[in-house]
Amino acid sequence: MSLFQLRMQWQKIKKSGKPANVKIAYLSTFTINPLEPYLGITLEQSGLISEGLISPYNQVVQECLNDNSITARFQPDIMVVWPSLEDLWAGQQLPMADNLGSYVKEAIDMADAALEASRRWQSTLVYILPAVSERRPLGVGDANNVEGVFAAATAVREELRRKLARKLGVLLVDAEEVIRHFGYEKSYNEQLYFLARIPYTEEVFHAIARNTAQLITLSKSSPRKLIAVDADNTLWGGVVGEDGVEGIDLADNGKGEAFKTFQSYLLELRRAGMLIAVCSKNAHEDVIEVFEKRREMRLKKEHIAAWRVGWQPKSESLRQIAVELGLGLNSIVFIDDNPVEIAEVQASIPEVSCIQMPADPSAAIRVLQQAGTLDRLPPTLEDLGRAAYYEQESKRREAASHAIGPEQYRAGLEIHARLFTPEATDMARFTQLVNKTNQFNINCRRRNESELMEVCKDSAYVPLLCECKDRFGDYGVVGALLVKLEGDTAELDTFVLSCRVLGRGIEEAMVAATFRLLAERGVLRLLAQVEQHPRNEPARQFFASIGCIAVGEKCEVASVEWPAYITREDEVVVS
């Protein structure tokens, strides 16, 4: 679909009368109107119908500081703020031999105003880092000037990144990345800038909208967790069953080097929290022998979370891998060089994202990055430890196979649990649990980081997080709950627990700790409204098991004992 057709499609959506479920304010130092249709149509593909407000031109700070401004009255769910350095520096000479501080200040003041407004309005802030200015009086000589345009622009951009990156409810989009992709000639429209203050081409607005929509979607959903990768002509060149273990291509140059570089990139994805599985139609012993004997392999056996090497359909192998690792099929990215295998998986399991390995392995990394399905926000500590967790889980399954019944198994795990109140550094994980836990979630109520922060500050609420470990390793923070206090009665507003620890007594431990805490506050009753959702049967079953069976209505939660086989690390302390 052409850019013109996308714009027309957006106009149809606006006229259709579909109710909006997200309000977006657009603030910029230039005319930002061309961004709205592209962001609107891209979000619509993810189920978000947006109502947009184009805030007054070049009034970003004023709109953010004034509680009676047009933008403030609009009360946006999302603020998109996009400054340009040319506009920020309009009242100054271009950087050449001056202190860079004055060039940074304007940008930081604007970011501060936007950040404060987003907190007051409880909005998600999408801040678009400005592109490096192309106006350079020294031309190529600017690269030699530590106080030149490029140096000043870099200082501004990195100061903005330091201020805004990983802030609660803030997402960063990089305009320079888009400009670099298209190049100067295809990015800027000087004539339109002087006519209507629109500096960029439609292609740039469209690309910025795509990146923005992708970030918004990532902030509201779980990223893919597993890469299931083929072996022949994907991890190495050639077919091991025909060429032999020593005959496959893992050379130090040409295609062999490209395959090894692809393996290195998979390891970087693993470091960012992805799991790697091998899904190959091959003799199992042949594939294992490559991993064991070919020292050039950068991907090692210990890096692989699951193996499915045999002759069954790959869709069946992927289903088995998902069950083994306790993942949803929509968590999987499947990579294969064979279009027939790709088509079979797409037809059988549409939830799986499929990427065809290019015939030229030197293009593999670019193809993966352009697909977008591997994009993710900066990982939490739990994400970084995911691969290690699955190695530990394999040992737990082995222990379970030797235990006489579930009680002996749980006791043999030697579980330790600690409940504590979250601090600012815990909010990212708190938000992740609340928004991405489905199976053990009493009501599937979602809140963004800013909303959770506000609730945690409210004295009517008691927030708790639970972290635990056992003799095989550390699970990290796996549970979260919010209790709302109303006199001598309290209600479970939120109660979520990671599927990684379901059935190991952590549910009972969290309820027992909550009762102990409430008793200290003089609370006599704890209520819960356990709602029915498509995937939260484990939560409903647990509350039924402890005597809370009125699904869909508030019921009183029965007190439970802290499991004897779980060691309590600390008493709960609520500040």
pLDDT per position as a tens digit, 371-419:
988 998 887 666 666 667 676 777 777 776 666 777 777 788 888 999 9
In the chain, domain spans = 3-220, 226-376, 403-568
What's the pLDDT score for residue 65?
94
Does the structural domain 226-376 have CATH classification 3.40.50.300? no
Q: Could you tell me which residue, 95 or 164, shows the higher pLDDT?
A: 164
d(CA 180, CA 128): 15
Banded model confidence at residue 428, pLDDT cuts 50, 70, 90: confident
What's the pLDDT score for residue 386?
67
What does CATH list as the number for 403-568? Answer: 3.40.630.30
CATH class of 3-220: alpha beta
What's the pLDDT score for residue 570?
62
- CB within 8 Å of 366: residues ≥ 6 apart: none
Check pLDDT > 70 for residue 539. Answer: yes
- Residue 554: closest CA among 569, 566, 543, 542: 543
Q: Which residues of 55-77 are buried (b: 16+ CB within 10 A; e: fewer)?
A: beebbbbebbeeeebebbebebb
Check pLDDT > 70 for residue 186. Answer: yes
| pLDDT tens for each residue of 114-128 | 999 998 998 999 999
Q: Which residues pair with 415 in a beta bridge?
A: 566
| pLDDT tens for each residue of 475-499 | 889 999 999 998 888 998 999 999 8
What's the pLDDT score for residue 423?
87
What's the pLDDT score for residue 574?
45
| pLDDT tens for each residue of 17-37 | 888 889 999 999 999 999 999
Residue 251 has a CB neighbour count (10 Å cut-off) of 15
Banded model confidence at residue 575, pLDDT cuts 50, 70, 90: very low
Q: Which residues pair with 334 in a beta bridge?
A: 228, 354
Banded model confidence at residue 552, pLDDT cuts 50, 70, 90: low
- Residue 336: closest CA among 320, 319, 313: 313
Mean model confidence pLDDT for the chain: 89
Check pLDDT > 80 for residue 97. Answer: no
Q: What is the mean pLDDT of residues 529-556?
A: 80
Asked whether the domain spanning 226-376 has the same topology as the one spanning 3-220, the reply is: yes
Q: Could you tell me which residue, 123 or 568, shows the higher pLDDT?
A: 123
| pLDDT tens for each residue of 36-93 | 999 999 999 888 889 999 999 999 999 999 999 999 999 999 999 999 999 988 877 7
What's the pLDDT score for residue 387?
66
Q: What is the pTM of this model?
A: 0.74
Check pLDDT > 50 for residue 511. Answer: yes
**The Cα angle at residue 79 between residues 75 and 80, in degrees rounded to 5:** 150
- Residue 360: closest CA among 276, 261, 443: 261
What's the pLDDT score for residue 573?
47
The beta strand positions in 11-57, using DSSP E, are 22-28, 50-54
Q: Are 40 and 13 in contact (CB under 8 A)?
A: yes
What's the pLDDT score for residue 412?
81
| pLDDT tens for each residue of 274-318 | 999 999 999 999 999 999 999 999 999 989 999 999 999 999 999
Check pLDDT > 70 for residue 549. Answer: no
What's the pLDDT score for residue 337?
94
Q: What is the mean pLDDT of residues 144-158?
A: 89
